[in-house]
């Protein structure tokens, strides 16, 4: 069957877009998920919506699984073809079709790199705010499919808040357009809303209409050191209650600070602190930003001599490099680790982190926690260290269940931005009722009756 499909794909698409060489397939067998791999039988590198449509139509007719893939930076195995078949890569559909300044809309193909869209918008004085830490490499299609977020979510929201319209292809090959360059739309179901966060299981996105906003003229980045995480989160509350919403409000707990300062030398100021808040303030004038800074200093009751204000682009980079280098530092420290991204109500962060730390201590595990203090999204990385591989694999399910149960018990949920993919699917029933899962299955069946799109993901 696969051989026949390969022949048909070659006949119906440009043959150079359809690949089967083992070394090329190997390159598509991984994303950024630790310790997980699955190679496809065939790789299709689509260059336009027609290629996507033809691929899906032929795969549907032959009942062969198709896994859409953007840039492969996902961390829950979403782009891995766990049931083999075809990987449909959108990496070549990467054009920024238009930055429409008058309507403040970007029209882009799904493989466009998020950071490139931001730069193109900025050249026109506009801003595309969602900023996953992977923005220099991830694709906008992957962001939509994962519902990606980033540090700026506290002020500007996540990917879902910027989707005005989508063009997508159903598994039978039909092309659907919903929304467009319009800010309001009450016409029928919000089909784009259903696709956001659907992790490539419902349709393949081929064009995206993104809302842009005027870019702030001034930004200021500061690092506030605290003795404890409790103090840092109290400061977050005080800042927001004083009517300052920073563009970003990130926290790092002590173990995260120590690990980064160990591996990324000279990067992190105030490395002896119990917790850090990394804050970005933005606005239209320097006076406005400085007034916000003053409010923050007073609300957070911080000694101005202790805080670090980035005065130059290199100092700014120094601050954010520390935040972005956590993953790299953990890899340098021990190679293997498990990465979770629970969300809890913001005020619950200190207790959640403290309780988890006590649990990890009891289990003799090292962990690093950091995340988005403004929106309650806590990244929890657990280090394998010297634990034998088999033992580590055996203990992980129990540890995950414990983490998720604690997040749910304090009113949160099991993932804030990385999605379910393969890694969390058996835990979905902890977070969603059986009725909610049944409804989701019926939505899946309506889009994909042959169940060919990204099988093995989301559903337990
Ligand atoms: C260092 C690092 C930092 C990260 N930081 C963040 C962060 O701050 N915030 C955050 O949210 N995530 C973060 N991530 C995770 C990852 O970058 C995001 O999930 C991103 O949205 C994935 O985009 P991608 O193009 O790489 O998608 P892929 O990994 O290729 O695919 C992800 C999912 O999207 C589906 N998909 C991709 N393209 C399409 C399409 N056109 N149509 C339909 N389905 C599609 C795939 O099937 C898969 O299920 C980080 C990852 C790394 C490695």
- 147 CA from centroid of ligand 1 (Å): 9
The CATH number of whichever domain residue 26 belongs to comes to 3.30.43.10
> Is 444 a domain residue?
no
Query: What does the pLDDT look like over 343-395, one tens digit per residue?
Result: 999 889 989 999 999 999 999 999 999 999 989 999 999 999 999 999 999 99
105 and 209, same domain (yes or no):
yes
| pLDDT exceeds 90 at position 8 | yes
> Is 442 a domain residue?
no
> Is 439 a domain residue?
no
355 and 370, same domain (yes or no):
yes
> Is 254 a domain residue?
yes
109 and 208, same domain (yes or no):
yes
CB of 133 shorter than 6 A to ligand 1: yes
Identify the CA nearest to 152 among candidates 285, 284, 246.
246
| pLDDT exceeds 70 at position 419 | yes
Q: Pick from 214, 232, 258: which residue ends a domain? A: 214
Q: Report the percentage of the chain scoring pLDDT > 90.
A: 89
By CB neighbour count within 10 A (0-12 exposed, 13-18 middle, 19+ buried), where does 416 fall? buried
Say what the pLDDT of residue 317 is.
86
229 and 198, same domain (yes or no):
no
> Is 448 a domain residue?
no
Q: For strand 42-45 and strand 18-19, is the pairing parallel, antiparallel, or unpaired?
A: antiparallel
- 270 CA from centroid of ligand 1 (Å): 32
Instruction: With cut-offs at 50, 70 and 90, classify the pLDDT of residue 266.
Output: low
Rounded alpha-carbon distances, angstroms, from residue 88 to 9, 51, 165, 257, 354: 12, 10, 22, 39, 43
The CATH number of whichever domain residue 304 belongs to comes to 3.30.70.2190
User: Element (H or E) spanning 389, and its range?
Assistant: helix 389-409
306 and 223, same domain (yes or no):
yes
Q: Please report the DSSP string for 302-332 in residue order.
A: --TTT-EE--SHHHHHHHHHHHHTHHHHHHH
> Is 42 a domain residue?
yes
Q: What is the atom index within ligand 1 of the atom nearest the CA of 417?
A: 11
Edge-to-edge strand list for the sheet holding 175-179: 96-100, 105-108, 204-211, 163-169, 175-179
Domain hosting residue 403, numbered range: 327-431
Q: How far is CA 159 from the centre of its chain?
A: 9
Q: Pick from 182, 214, 246: which residue ends a domain? A: 214
- 449 CA from centroid of ligand 1 (Å): 25
Question: What is the number of structural domains in the chain?
Answer: 4
148 and 230, same domain (yes or no):
no
CB of 67 shorter than 6 A to ligand 1: yes
Max Cα distance, the chain (Å): 70
CB of 199 shorter than 6 A to ligand 1: yes
200 and 224, same domain (yes or no):
no
Token code pair at residue 366: 């090292």
> Is 116 a domain residue?
yes
Q: What is the atom index within ligand 1 of the atom nearest the CA of 419?
A: 19
| pLDDT exceeds 90 at position 161 | yes
- 115 CA from centroid of ligand 1 (Å): 13
CB of 143 shorter than 6 A to ligand 1: yes
112 and 209, same domain (yes or no):
yes
209 and 222, same domain (yes or no):
no
- Reported residue count of the chain is 460
- Nearest 5°: the CA angle 115, 178, 135 is 10
Residue with tokens 């696969």: 2
122 and 231, same domain (yes or no):
no
CB of 250 shorter than 6 A to ligand 1: no
* DSSP three-state, residue 175: strand
Question: Whole-model pTM?
Answer: 0.96
Percent helix, strand, coil in the chain, to 5, is: 40, 20, 40
CB of 330 shorter than 6 A to ligand 1: no
Q: What residues does 282 pair with on adjacent strands?
A: 219
312 and 331, same domain (yes or no):
no
> Is 133 a domain residue?
yes
Q: Pick from 71, 89, 107: which residue ends a domain? A: 89
Query: What does the pLDDT look like over 188-217, one tens digit per residue?
Result: 999 999 999 999 999 999 999 999 999 999
């Amino acid at each position: 069957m696969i051989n026949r499909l390969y022949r048909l794909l070659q006949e119906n698409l440009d043959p150079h877009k359809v690949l089967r060489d083992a070394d090329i397939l190997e390159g598509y067998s991984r994303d950024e998920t630790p310790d997980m791999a699955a190679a496809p039988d065939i790789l299709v590198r689509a260059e336009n919506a027609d290629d996507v449509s033809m691929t899906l139509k032929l795969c549907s007719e032959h009942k062969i699984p198709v896994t859409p893939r953007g840039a492969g930076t996902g961390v829950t195995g979403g782009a891995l073809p766990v049931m083999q078949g075809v990987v449909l890569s959108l990496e070549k559909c990467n054009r920024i079709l238009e930055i429409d300044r008058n309507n403040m809309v970007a029209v882009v193909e799904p493989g466009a790199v998020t950071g490139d869209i931001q730069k193109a918008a900025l050249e026109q004085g506009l801003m595309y705010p969602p900023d996953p830490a992977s923005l220099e490499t991830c694709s906008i299609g992957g962001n939509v499919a994962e519902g990606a977020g980033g540090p700026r979510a506290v002020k500007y929201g996540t990917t879902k808040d910027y989707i005005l319209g989508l063009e997508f292809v159903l598994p039978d090959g039909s092309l659907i357009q919903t929304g467009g360059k319009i800010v309001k739309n009450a016409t029928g179901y919000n089909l784009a809303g259903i696709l956001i966060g659907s992790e490539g299981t419902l349709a393949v996105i081929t064009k995206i209409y993104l809302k842009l906003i005027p870019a702030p003229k001034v930004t200021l980045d500061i690092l506030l050191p605290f003795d404890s995480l409790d103090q840092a989160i109290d400061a977050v509350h005080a800042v927001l209650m004083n009517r300052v919403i920073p563009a970003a409000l990130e926290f790092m707990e002590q173990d995260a600070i120590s690990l980064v300062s160990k591996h990324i030398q000279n990067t992190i100021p105030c490395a002896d602190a119990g917790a850090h808040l990394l804050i970005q303030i933005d606005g239209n004038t320097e006076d406005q930003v400085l007034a916000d800074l003053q409010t923050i200093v007073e609300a957070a009751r911080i000694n101005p001599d202790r805080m670090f204000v980035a005065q130059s682009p290199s100092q700014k980079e120094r601050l954010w490099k520390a935040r972005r280098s956590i993953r790299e530092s953990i890899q340098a420290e021990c190679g293997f680790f498990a990465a979770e991204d629970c969300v809890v109500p913001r005020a619950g962060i200190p207790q959640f982190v403290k309780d988890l730390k006590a649990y990890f201590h009891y289990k003799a595990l090292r962990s690093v926690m950091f995340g988005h203090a403004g929106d309650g999204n806590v990244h929890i990385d657990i280090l394998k260290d010297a634990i034998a591989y088999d033992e580590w694999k055996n203990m992980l399910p129990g540890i995950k269940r414990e983490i998720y149960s604690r997040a749910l018990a304090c009113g949160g949920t099991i993932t804030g931005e990385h999605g379910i993919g393969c890694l969390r699917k058996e835990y979905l029933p902890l977070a969603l009722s059986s009725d909610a899962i049944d409804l989701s299955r019926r939505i899946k069946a309506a889009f994909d009756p042959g169940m060919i799109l990204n099988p093995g993901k989301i559903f337990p």
